[in-house]
A and B are shown apart, each in its own frame.
Chain A
Amino acid sequence: QVQLQESGPGLVKPSQTLSLTCTVSGASINSGAYYWSWFRQHPGKGLECIAYFYYSGSTYYNPSLKRRATISVDASKNEFSLKLNSVTAADTAVYYCARRQNFGPVDYWGQGTLVTVPS
């Protein structure tokens, strides 16, 4: 059974960097079949894809984040991380890590972690 678990601070001060890690079990992030992603959901709002990476090293970021996001990978720990710099209150959201297929569905989600940036 594939499981993903987000971890990281629940409170980040404005202008600082949000850092989250996703620990994956039951699947290898180095497998070629899947894309590993970060999503977020603002309070009471819909879902937004932040970024994803593929095991080959390719990454893609949502242009709306204006280059503030970075994904990094630690294959030895089967983990991938998200850094979002210069955060504001608008970055307050539940952040999810997830696995998806190439142009396919998101088949596994983490439970999500709420990150609050006070105004």
Chain B
Amino acid sequence: QSVLTQPPSVSGAPGQRVTISCTGSSSNIGAGYDVHWYQQLPGAAPKLLIYNNSDRPSGVPDRFSGSKSGTSASLAITGLQTEDEGIYYCQSYDTSLSGLGLFGGGTKLTVL
């Protein structure tokens, strides 16, 4: 069981908006560590999607956005496209792990 909790799955129709939550605690997200989000498409390595809670790397469409509040964070995807299907992971750090980094369990996005 991951320290960062994500829903196992979400789904939406093309063009719709979905959100993925990432719930932590006072020793990780609540301690002030930033949250980062990754997209993993089938058979591929994870790809950085959102960093520092809400910033997008160059090349990531603005359909993807992130936010953080208290001990939780969220990833929102608007204008869903079939190519968005994959698994999404949140990542942060914890005061007990000496910079090791920890991930949520992942959320599988299905575009209906």
Name A's B-contacting residues (CB within 8 A).
35, 37, 46-49, 52, 60, 62, 96, 100, 102-107, 109-112
A47 and B52 within 8 A (CB): no
Question: Could you tell me how many residues of chain B have their Cβ less than 8 Å away from some Cβ of chain A?
Answer: 25
B36 and A105 within 8 A (CB): yes
A106–B50 alpha-carbon span in the complex (Å) = 11
Among B33, B93, B101, B104, the one with the most A-chain Cβ atoms within 10 Å of its Cβ is B101
A112–B41 alpha-carbon span in the complex (Å) = 13
- B106 contacts the other chain (CB 8 A): yes
Given contacts A46-B2, A62-B100, contact A105 B48 (CB under 8 A): yes
- Minimum CB distance partner of B49 in chain A: A105
**Which of B38, B102, B105 has a CB less than 8 Å from the CB of A106?**
B38
